[in-house]
A and B are shown apart, each in its own frame.
Chain A
Amino acid sequence: MSNEKKLILIADDDADYLFQMEAMVKNLGFRVKTAESQAEAEKVLETVKPDLAIFDLMMEQEDSGFILSYKAKRKYPDMPIILASAVTAETGYNFDLYNENDRDWIKADLYLEKGIRPDQLHREINKLLKL
């Protein structure tokens, strides 16, 4: 591929968190497109194929991130997806992507807790993009 910067789609309904993630990911040397809702992200995905996507789990619905991942994977099976959320500890949602059962239907490649440090995030993104 070219040396053009990779494009990352970030969807999160917390405008502040979205802004901060955007800044962080741009800082890591990527291009960023943002969406403030599941609906908006779906619209973006209709016309753009990002190299990687980071979705918040709870947006319009508490499972928006899952649905979005599912739809995104149907359209772009090879696009890596990170589901970011603060939910594990809080809502008792306990989906572990390394558990085969869950993995079948949660179509994400990685599950991250929010509040991740930039260097950790960078490492995970690079791994998924095979950089």
Chain B
Amino acid sequence: MATLHVLVVDDEPGIRSGVTRILSNYTVGYPFMDEDFDFHLIEAGTGEDAIEVLNNQPVDVVLLDNKLPGMDGIEVLDYIKQQNFDVAVMMITSYASLDLAIKATRNGAYNFMPKPFTPQELRASIENVAKHLFLKRMTRKMQEEGKQIRFQFLSVLSHELKSPINAVEGYLKMMQEKQFGEKVEDYDRMIDRSLTRLKGMRNLIMDLLDLTKIESGKKERKMRDVNLAEIAKMAMDTMEPYAIQRSVKMRLNVEGDPQLLADADEMEIVFNNLISNAVKYNKEGGKVQVIISDRGKDLEIKVSDTGIGMSEEDSDKIFQDFVRIKNSKTKEITGSGLGLSITRKMIEQYNGTIEVESKPDEGTTFTVSLPRL
């Protein structure tokens, strides 16, 4: 038998003692678990007391009322998130408020339970929370053990792969059923769109291959003296046709010695991503400037563009897997949302840093700094 420590935070003593009574001789078990859980209850009447408890004793599950006399539930939730406590939080709400629900879910609350609740409802909810917590810990343990099961990643990936398949399949069905008549020309747009989606999928797969290179990493990196200026030029050549099409001008400046001990393929991935973004997210007739400068202990790469830019809020997110900024300016631009996360991971392997500065409608500058080993 394992024990889960449940902290009940509510200013109504009746709720606290009720929860304690209902859960103290309750146990749950799951077919996939070796042992059953029982519950040890801890009570707190305010958010401040709850934090005191969280800081001083083990807690697995928090049942958290939102309306509290001092700091409210959302603030306690914030604190839990900040401190990265390994707990599952279930919010108790006396009224159904979507705003609260969304805010709380974003902040990591696992579930909600409306007040008043019956003993049966409480037991069902706690059963779910316990299961969630168990699975979360299992997943982490597997990750720590290097098994690298990346549920999150795989689930988004499957979404990203499924969308184009659905789109293409939908168009093929429309053509098969001749929904727009007998004339082939009337299906041109659908064919174009299908090809575009397939191309997007191909790019995604290419990006995934880059990513696998990092993941399977360490193995045989071919470190040698690499001339980054040459790599930059290569990446610019690759983008040239697309840049011409959009009348975007690219320029390369090299200040000092552009040599770095690195793996040429990996550096190419970095430049390809930054330069292709600078062209893709540019405006008709815009400019791209690549500057490589020798700073002695490290090399700095700046890729600037005069493109559509992005808000500060957006620029905080773009290095994450699959993040793409969706707005009217990016609507027609395809991509996997993996490029920058790959780039960041590459750079981190060299103990380097990457930063972005951007202004909507004015342009964006990515600055990479790579230490010389």
CB–CB A91/B179 < 8 A: no
- Any chain B CB within 8 A of the CB of A76? no
CB–CB A17/B163 < 8 A: yes
Q: Which B residues are in CB contact (< 8 Å) with A104? A: 96, 114
Nearest B-chain residue to A14, judged by Cβ: B163
CB–CB A70/B159 < 8 A: no
Contact of A59 among B114, B121, B158, B326 (CB under 8 A): B326
Docked CA distance A114–B159 (Å):
11
Secondary structure of the A contact surface, majority rule: helix
Docked CA distance A57–B130 (Å):
27
Q: Which A residues are in CB contact (< 8 Å) with B197? A: 16
Known: A36-B331, A37-B326, A90-B156. A23 touches B174 (CB 8 A): yes
- Binary flags per residue of B292-320, CB closer than 8 Å to A gives 1, else 0: 00000000000000000000000000000
CB–CB B170/A17 < 8 A: yes
Nearest A-chain residue to B99, judged by Cβ: A70
Q: Which A residues are in CB contact (< 8 Å) with B327? A: 60
Docked CA distance A17–B171 (Å):
9
CB–CB B166/A114 < 8 A: yes
- Any chain A CB within 8 A of the CB of B338? no
- Any chain A CB within 8 A of the CB of B269? no
Contact of B158 among A14, A16, A27, A90 (CB under 8 A): A90
- Any chain A CB within 8 A of the CB of B209? no
CB–CB B114/A101 < 8 A: yes
Contact of A20 among B151, B159, B171 (CB under 8 A): B171
Q: Which B residues are in CB contact (< 8 Å) with A13? A: 326
Q: Which B residues are in CB contact (< 8 Å) with A27? A: 179
- Any chain A CB within 8 A of the CB of B193? yes
Docked CA distance A15–B326 (Å):
12
Nearest A-chain residue to B157, judged by Cβ: A90
- Any chain B CB within 8 A of the CB of A67? yes
69-126 of chain B: CB within 8 A of chain A: 96-98, 101-102, 105, 112-114, 121
Q: How far is the CB of B12 from chain A (nearest CB, A)?
A: 20
Q: How far is the CB of B136 from chain A (nearest CB, A)?
A: 11
CB–CB A115/B98 < 8 A: no
Docked CA distance A14–B248 (Å):
28
Q: Which B residues are in CB contact (< 8 Å) with A66? A: 98, 102
Q: How far is the CB of B190 from chain A (nearest CB, A)?
A: 8
Q: How far is the CB of A42 from chain B (nearest CB, A)?
A: 15
CB–CB B162/A20 < 8 A: no
Nearest A-chain residue to B165, judged by Cβ: A115
Docked CA distance A86–B170 (Å):
15
Q: How far is the CB of B249 from chain A (nearest CB, A)?
A: 30
Q: Which B residues are in CB contact (< 8 Å) with A14? A: 163, 167
Q: How far is the CB of A20 from chain B (nearest CB, A)?
A: 4
Contact of A16 among B96, B121, B171 (CB under 8 A): B171
Contact of A87 among B121, B159, B167 (CB under 8 A): B159
Q: Which A residues are in CB contact (< 8 Å) with B57? A: none
CB–CB B102/A67 < 8 A: yes
- Binary flags per residue of B331-373, CB closer than 8 Å to A gives 1, else 0: 1000000000000000000000000000000000000000000
Q: How far is the CB of A48 from chain B (nearest CB, A)?
A: 20
CB–CB A23/B179 < 8 A: yes
Nearest A-chain residue to B189, judged by Cβ: A19
Known: A27-B179, A92-B151. A63 touches B102 (CB 8 A): yes
- Binary flags per residue of A4-28, CB closer than 8 Å to B gives 1, else 0: 0000000001111101100100010
CB–CB A91/B156 < 8 A: yes
- Binary flags per residue of A56-100, CB closer than 8 Å to B gives 1, else 0: 000110010011001000000000000000110011100000000
- Any chain A CB within 8 A of the CB of B216? no
- Any chain A CB within 8 A of the CB of B245? no
Nearest A-chain residue to B167, judged by Cβ: A16
Given contacts A16-B171, A90-B155, A92-B151, could you give 7 more A-B pairs where the C-beta distance is less than 8 Å?
A: A14-B163, A16-B170, A17-B163, A19-B193, A27-B179, A86-B162, A90-B162
Give the B-binding residues of A (Cβ under 8 A): 13-17, 19-20, 23, 27, 36-37, 59-60, 63, 66-67, 70, 86-87, 90-92, 101, 104-107, 114-115
CB<8 Å pairs between A and B, sample of 12: A13-B326, A14-B167, A17-B163, A17-B167, A17-B170, A20-B167, A20-B171, A63-B102, A90-B156, A90-B159, A104-B96, A107-B98
